[in-house]
Structure 1
Amino acid sequence: MRLTIIGSSGSLAGPQSPASSYLLTPDDGSDPVIMDLGPGAMGVLPQVTDPGRAHIVFTHLHADHCLDFPSLLVWRRFHPQLAAKSKHTFVGPDFSAKHLGLASADAPGDVDDFSDSFVIHSWREGVVQSVGAFDFTPVRVIHPTETYALRAVERGTGHTLVFSADTAYCDQLVDLAKGAHTLLCEASWGVSSENAAPDMHMSGPEAAKTATRAGVERLILTHIPPWIDALATVGAAQDHFSGEIDVATPKKTYEF
């Protein structure tokens, strides 16, 4: 499988990157899976795949992870050449259909029923959900809203990626990442989480400690806000992880 970074800026779109969004493309040529779709992501996504031919999953519904979804619906419904020709799978927290339906509707209080474009599912803690060529295992992590870290396994190859979503440092993410090749992990607090708000995010060193405890081979740091020094964050992380460390940037790809 291939991981493509669509957007990696933390908490908001930045001058160099859209907000959080990632694309998993299977080796068998079947339709890819979008993971989160934050502001600005639809500016990059059509450059790397056809948005009308992709499944989508959401780790959580904070604005920086989901608010380009109404634009995706416009593409899928109304693009003159590339509108969606079939439904795809949608998976997210329990309240996804209402939350994103409100965001996509024409009038205040209305809810856009987007079941014309997607077959809608909700995550269930620890229950495997098949999406295209991948099996996703969701685990609740520590964040102010219903949030799931995701373990994605490509069925044809067994290749495995774990995406932290947004979370504070926690054992459940370590357990989910054990045996995975790559951990795509948020590092919102930069070089240190000291004096940061509790139960929200991780620092680069905490992401690295998670990777070390889980035994992954590669750590990709993401969700770094524009005001945080990404290179300094990598430097701080290297003190706690001996494997490969990289920083997610738009259009960068990783092969498994």
Structure 2
Amino acid sequence: MTTSGMKLTVVGCAGSFAGPDSPASCYLVEAPFEGRTYRLLIDLGSGAFGPLQRYSTIRDIDAIALSHLHADHCFDMSGFYVVSRYHPEGAFDQIPVHAPDGAGDFLVAAYGIEEQTGMREQFDFSPWQDGGTVQLGPFTVTSALVNHPVPAYAFRVETKTHSLAYSGDTGPTEALVDIVDGVDVFLCEASFVESGTNPPNLHLTGAEAGEYATRCNVGRLLVTHIPTWTDAAEVESDVKSTWDGPYEIVTAGSTYDL
């Protein structure tokens, strides 16, 4: 990791469900902070908790940001809870989890805990505010409500010197513009292809991801959340129709130094 920058690791990038080559959405963002490395986990979708352990010990995760409460973005929080509560060397310290309102109760129900305290011994849940900003170690995180069937948020993650935007899951929306404007790296979903008959208010195509990257003058576009049943080559062709800057179709295990 660079001594002054931000590092992004793609733990999982499969759209909608874990695929044969990748878990569902999970991204590890790291930066120096107070003489050590601070680790922010963005989403923890189906199948991601196992591979996450290749890139960080679980006890070293400092905070979690969940974009929304679909299974492919949050269901492996159950595994994180088990490790952090019942580790033989002792329970972990409670860590902040920023997520849509009601995430604590939702994740407790998904795991099957009956006690009223639920997961709150391990996770300090705080709801996102549309347009709000929170400070997590070296990261200033701004959230924006985007266009999806459940409450879903895009994030802008900044240090004093670098910036990353993450679309989460969204259909086209003006809410992305301020979040994405001028960032070094735009990590953007592209679940749909232009040739398809796509339902509204759900996901972006590669062409739409490229349009936002162009409009917002980003440094680099990283395309993610492509489902196994979608042709990644067609998504890439769509991206190139609207974006002529640097880009990559991400794969699980890829790392990027900002």
Structure 2 gap ranges (5+): 1-5
Letter in 2 for 1:3: L
The Cα of 1:132 is off from its aligned counterpart by: 2.5
CA-to-partner distance for each residue in 1:81-127, whole Å, 9 max, x for gaps? 4x5542211100011011011122345xx655222112221111111
Distance in 2, Cα, partners of 1:74 & 1:145: 26
> Are the counterparts in 1 of residues 166 and 186 from structure 2 also a CA contact under 8 Å?
yes
Distance in 1, Cα, partners of 2:163 & 2:184: 6
**Aligned position for 1:30:** 37
Say which of 6, 10, 20 aligns to 1:5: 10
The Cα of 1:171 is off from its aligned counterpart by: 1.6
Letter in 2 for 1:141: V
Letter in 2 for 1:77: R
**Aligned position for 2:66:** 58
Number of matched pairs: 250
**Aligned position for 1:40:** 47
Distance in 2, Cα, partners of 1:203 & 1:111: 42
Is 1:183 the counterpart of 2:186 in the alignment?
Answer: yes
The Cα of 1:9 is off from its aligned counterpart by: 0.3
Distance in 2, Cα, partners of 1:163 & 1:147: 12
Identity of aligned residues (%): 36
TM-score (norm 1): 0.93
**Aligned position for 1:198:** 200
Misfit runs of 4+, over 3 Å:
none
**Aligned position for 1:247:** 249
TM-score (norm 2): 0.92
The equivalences for 1:105-124 within 5 A come to 105-106=112-113, 113-124=118-129
The Cα of 1:79 is off from its aligned counterpart by: 2.7
3-state secondary structure, aligned to 1:48: coil
Distance 1:13 1:196, change over 3 A: same
Say which of 138, 147, 155 aligns to 1:150: 155
**Aligned position for 1:160:** 163
